[in-house]
């Protein structure tokens, strides 16, 4: 291939990212070579910073660069409703619709026996701990509308019901088998609006 | 958006790359967050290294991490033929076919009055300088088959012909494995014009 070593290493790094094959990686590496020094330095710093400076919010388990995330710190958020999602990306999707004003809980995954992820491997214990707060009146289960997400929702609802807290599941306005983060705002709004008591 | 600052910065950096929109950038940033520390450090280093350690070969102007690139250093390459291309990527494409054993000259662009790139802005002077070597017998112009590439080829051929060196242009025609009915008129006309006796 007669490419300089630093170029080869950058192409290899780009190829580790999802959806980036050898041709795209090569294209991106050449683009970086032509980029401003300033922008490349910023890029490299941003990469390291994401690993170094981001942690999980001690309350909702979402990603955060402070011990408590911005949403958990916000006094205007409604503490009586907790929306349970699988991933930080799901929080972004729901925030984008600007209709939910409660708090979140990020499970950081879903129960999936096939890949050996059990209830103890995701942040369910942390959720139950938060429910000790008497102000919590409803838990909305907004895990993905696929097999793992449904199973996780069922599992959590069985744990919470005995506590006398209302448990709801977002409606199947979302296409089954889809990915929550890719849902459009309207569909997502309908799904939350049509939630049902489990 | 309620995303931690380091995440936002990384998403912005990814969005500067060609063909990467906000959703893909976000997906990549989250992926980086989950990557091994080791791989991220390597990625960041590779980025900086591409800017810091790569320069241009003093002979062919291709990218290189040594003063002379690997191809120019290779004593097995045929010094009598120089293949002139626009970009380092073009060298990779021609090398991939493993049938050209001469040397290269990378112009680092093409003449394009529309974006104010003149003959002095690309490496034509450096090419002429190399032709002082009496061993050079042929210059193959392999600039892109578009307006800028054609203009650049014409310009260079007029400079070289008086020197008594053979100047050739790569053939135009139908791509192998293509469909005649989908070929555009210009390509088809060139293909017929360049027909060969069987």
What CATH number is associated with residue A146?
3.40.1360.10
Structural domain of B24: 5-53
Q: With pLDDT > 70 as the criterion, what percentage of chain B qualifies?
A: 98
Q: How far is B148 from chain A (nearest CA, A)?
A: 20
**Same domain? B79 vs B170:** yes
Chain A CA closest to residue B9: A46
Q: How far is B87 from chain A (nearest CA, A)?
A: 10
Question: What residues contact A159, with CB distance under 8 A and at least 6 apart?
Answer: A124, A128
User: What is the tens place of the pLDDT at every residue in B129-174?
Assistant: 999 989 999 999 999 888 899 999 999 999 999 998 999 988 888 7
Q: In what order do the strands lie in the sheet with B166-169?
A: B102-106, B78-85, B138-141, B166-169
What does residue A141 show for φ and ψ, rounded to 5 degrees? -90, 105
Chain A CA closest to residue B42: A13
Chain A CA closest to residue B26: A89
**Same domain? A121 vs A164:** yes
> Cβ distance A60 to A105 under 8 Å?
yes
Q: How far is B145 from chain A (nearest CA, A)?
A: 20
> Cβ distance B86 to B107 under 8 Å?
yes
Q: What is the pLDDT of residue B73?
A: 93
Q: Would you say residue B1 has pLDDT above 70? A: no
Does residue B124 form part of some domain?
Answer: yes
The CATH number given to whatever domain includes residue A38 is 1.10.8.420
Which of B2, B29, B52 has its CB closest to that of A50? B29
DSSP B171: P
Which of A6, A31, A71 has its CB closest to that of B53? A6
The pLDDT of B94-99, averaged and rounded, is 85
The pLDDT of B108-122, averaged and rounded, is 92
Q: How far is B193 from chain A (nearest CA, A)?
A: 33
**Same domain? A160 vs A86:** yes
Q: How far is A10 from chain B (nearest CA, A)?
A: 5
**Same domain? A136 vs A39:** no
Mutation target to probe the B interface, by most B beta carbons within 10 A, among A36, A44, A73 is A44
Does residue A39 form part of some domain?
Answer: yes
In sequence order, what E strands does chain B have? Answer: 55-56, 63-64, 78-85, 102-106, 138-141, 166-169
**Same domain? A34 vs A127:** no
Residues of A in contact with B23 (CB under 8 A): 182
Contacts 24+ apart (CB under 8 A), A10-16: A10/B43, A10/B46, A10/B47, A10/B49, A10/B50, A12/B46, A13/B39, A13/B42, A13/B43, A13/B46, A13/B47, A16/B35, A16/B39, A16/B43
Whole-number Å distance between alpha carbons of B198 and B184: 24
Which of A4, A26, A46 has its CB closest to that of B9? A46
**Same domain? B26 vs B113:** no
Q: Determine whether the interchain pair B3/A92 forms a contact, defined as Cβ–Cβ distance below 8 Å.
A: yes
Does residue A70 form part of some domain?
Answer: no
Whole-number Å distance between alpha carbons of B104 and A26: 20
Does residue A182 form part of some domain?
Answer: yes
CB atoms within 10 A of CB B48: 18
Residues of B in contact with A45 (CB under 8 A): 9, 44
Minimum mean pLDDT among B6-10, B16-20, B128-132, B187-191: which range?
B187-191
Does residue B59 form part of some domain?
Answer: no
Q: What is the pLDDT of residue A183?
A: 78
The conformational region for residue B49 under phi > 0 = left, psi -120 to 50 = alpha, else beta, is alpha
Residues of B in contact with A63 (CB under 8 A): 3-4, 7, 33
Chain A CA closest to residue B13: A43
Q: How many domains does chain A have?
A: 2
ipTM: 0.76
Which of B3, B29, B50 has its CB closest to that of A6? B50
Residues of A in contact with B32 (CB under 8 A): 17, 47, 50-51
Whole-number Å distance between alpha carbons of A1 and B190: 32
Encode chain A (198 residues) as per-residue pLDDT tens digits: 578 899 999 999 999 999 999 999 999 999 999 899 999 999 999 999 999 999 999 999 999 999 999 999 999 999 999 999 999 989 988 998 888 999 999 999 999 988 999 999 999 999 999 999 889 999 999 998 888 998 999 999 999 999 999 999 887 777 767 777 777 777 777 777 777 677
Minimum mean pLDDT among A21-35, B12-26, B78-92, B164-178: which range?
B164-178
Does residue A148 form part of some domain?
Answer: yes
Closest by CA to B59, choosing from B115, B136, B4, B5, is B136
**Same domain? A47 vs A79:** no
Question: Per-residue confidence at B30, pLDDT binned at 50, 70, 90?
Answer: very high
Q: Would you say residue B78 has pLDDT above 90? A: yes
Does residue B187 form part of some domain?
Answer: yes
The pLDDT of B76-80, averaged and rounded, is 94
Q: What is the pLDDT of residue B189?
A: 80
Whole-number Å distance between alpha carbons of A145 and A140: 13
**Same domain? A48 vs A90:** no
Whole-number Å distance between alpha carbons of B175 and B110: 23
Does residue B82 form part of some domain?
Answer: yes
Question: Per-residue confidence at B39, pLDDT binned at 50, 70, 90?
Answer: very high
> Cβ distance B4 to B18 under 8 Å?
no
**Same domain? B41 vs B95:** no
Whole-number Å distance between alpha carbons of A5 and B11: 27
**Same domain? B114 vs B79:** yes
Whole-number Å distance between alpha carbons of B69 and A83: 58
**Same domain? A120 vs A191:** yes
Q: Would you say residue B192 has pLDDT above 90? A: no
For A64, B59, B81, B104, B148, the CA distances from B139, given in Å and listed in that order, are 59, 15, 6, 9, 18
For A23, B16, B58, B89, B121, the CA distances from B63, given in Å and listed in that order, are 18, 22, 10, 10, 17
Q: How far is A158 from chain B (nearest CA, A)?
A: 30
For chains A and B, what is the number of CB pairs under 8 angstroms?
A: 165
**Same domain? B92 vs B171:** yes
Whole-number Å distance between alpha carbons of B185 and B198: 24
């Amino acid at each position: 291939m007669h490419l300089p070593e630093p170029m080869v290493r950058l192409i290899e790094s780009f190829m580790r990212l999802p959806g980036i094959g050898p041709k795209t990686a090569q294209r991106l590496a050449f683009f970086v070579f032509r980029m401003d020094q300033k922008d490349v330095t910023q890029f490299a710093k941003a990469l390291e910073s994401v690993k170094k400076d981001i942690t999980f919010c001690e309350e909702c388990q979402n990603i955060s660069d402070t011990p408590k995330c911005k949403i958990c710190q916000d006094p205007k958020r409604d503490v009586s409703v907790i929306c349970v999602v699988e991933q930080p990306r799901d929080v972004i999707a729901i925030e984008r619709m600007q209709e939910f004003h409660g708090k979140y809980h990020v499970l950081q995954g879903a129960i999936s026996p096939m890949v050996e992820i059990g209830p103890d491997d995701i942040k369910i214990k942390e959720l139950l701990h938060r429910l000790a707060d008497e102000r919590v009146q409803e838990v909305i289960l907004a895990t993905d509308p696929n097999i793992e997400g449904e199973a996780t929702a069922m599992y959590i609802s069985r744990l919470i019901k005995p506590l006398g807290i209302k448990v709801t599941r977002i409606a199947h306005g979302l296409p089954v088998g889809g990915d929550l983060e890719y849902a459009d705002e309207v569909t997502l709004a309908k799904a939350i609006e049509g939630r049902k008591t489990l």
